[in-house]
Amino acid sequence: MSLLMTFQLGFAQKTVSGTVTDTSGVPLPGATVVVQGTNNGVTTNFDGDYSISASEGDVLVVSFVGFESASATVGAASTYDFSLSEGNALEEVVVTALGISREKKSLGYWLKKAIVSKNVYEKKYSQSLKDNDGFWRKEGKRVTWIKPYSKIKDVKYSSSDVNIKWFYDGTLNASANCIDRHLKNNKDKTAIMWVGDDPKVQKKITYKQLHNEVCKIANGLKEIGVQKGDTRCAVALNRYIIY
């Protein structure tokens, strides 16, 4: 009986938590934390925090694209923080969608395909800190406006008053920016890659197809009397159309 109890206690699971950051202490949201050799894994939240079930003796492996992986063996403690160093330890990135394995490509491939390089990102980030209003005044012009804005932001964060307004004297059409403006040159390009509950069920929807579907929905809403300024909520279960 005592041997059985010892065996059971030795493999008892507990909740292990911690924070994943880079070497300067900045949280890494979306880092993967897994129990080595199992399918038990989680990703860190916006603050870099994670929580996972593990047993003493299990090895936690933490990884994040562009950083060296790290590991720790679970002992008596319940908190394990990780500080990841930048590097090219992840020589291959496997792109998956709900468990569907994709072609393995090197990290360098994805860096070349990126729209914004690390240098461009850091330059823009620096500009946003030095002249926040000026930065967003320029970036805001990347979308199409019906009535151009003159005011950039009005934000307040306090226990008694939380107020967040961006480009608040301008007017735009979100649907036109997301769909219509792409029709002239990119109508046959993929706008949405949709994967169903069954990963084998997939659809690639072009901007032209998406525009047709949105127009159907818009005309249907007009037909039942929905007018400008009305608020409606639509639930589309197991469908790729987003209202």
Instruction: Let me know: does 80 contact 21? Beta carbons within 8 Å.
Output: no
- Give all strands (DSSP E) within 28-85, no chain letters: 32-35, 41-43, 49-55, 59-63, 70-73, 82-84
What does the pLDDT read at residue 236?
60
Residue 105's pLDDT is 56
Position with higher pLDDT, 63 vs 196? 63
pLDDT band at residue 52, thresholds of 50, 70 and 90? very high
Higher pLDDT: 131 or 6? It is 131
At 86 the pLDDT is 81
Residue of 9 and 185 predicted with greater confidence:
185
pLDDT-derived band at 235, boundaries 50, 70, 90: low
What per-residue string of b and e applies to 197-211 under the rule 16 or more CB within 10 Å gives b? eeeeeeeebbbbbbb
CB of 87 within 8 A of CB of 68? yes
Share of the chain above pLDDT 70, in %: 81
Model pLDDT, residue 233: 74
Mean pLDDT, range 122-131, rounded to an integer = 92
Residues 47 and 109: beta-carbon distance below 8 Å? no
For residues 20-27, give the mean pLDDT.
89
Instruction: Assign 100 a pLDDT band (cuts: 50, 70, 90).
Output: very low
**CA distances (Å), 111 to each of 57, 59, 103, 186, in order?**
37, 30, 16, 24
Q: Compute the average pLDDT of residues 53-67.
A: 90
Taking residues 119-139, what's their average pLDDT? 92
More confident residue, 197 or 167: 167
d(CA 21, CA 30): 11
What pLDDT is stored for residue 215 in this prediction? 94
User: Which is higher by pLDDT, 209 or 90?
Assistant: 209
Nearest CA-CA partner of 45 in 35, 61, 36, 33: 33
pLDDT digits (tens, 9 = 90+) for 211-226: 999 999 889 989 999 9
57's torsion region: left (phi>0), alpha (psi -120 to 50) or beta?
Answer: left
pLDDT at residue 32 is higher than 60: yes
Q: What pLDDT, on a 0 to 100 scale, did the predictor assign at position 53?
A: 93
pTM of the model: 0.50
How far is the C-alpha of 10 from the C-alpha of 57, rounded, in Å? 9
For range 109-132, the mean pLDDT: 83
The CATH H-level superfamily of 14-90 is: Carboxypeptidase-like, regulatory domain (2.60.40.1120)
Domain positions in the chain: 14-90, 132-172, 176-243
* Mean pLDDT rounded to a whole number for the chain: 82
Burial of 61 (0-12, 13-18, 19+ CB in 10 A): middle
pLDDT at 210: 95
**For residue 189, how many C-alpha atoms fall within 13 Å in the half-sphere facing its CB?**
9
Residue 209 predicted with pLDDT over 50: yes
> Could you tell me the two tokens for 204?
């690639």
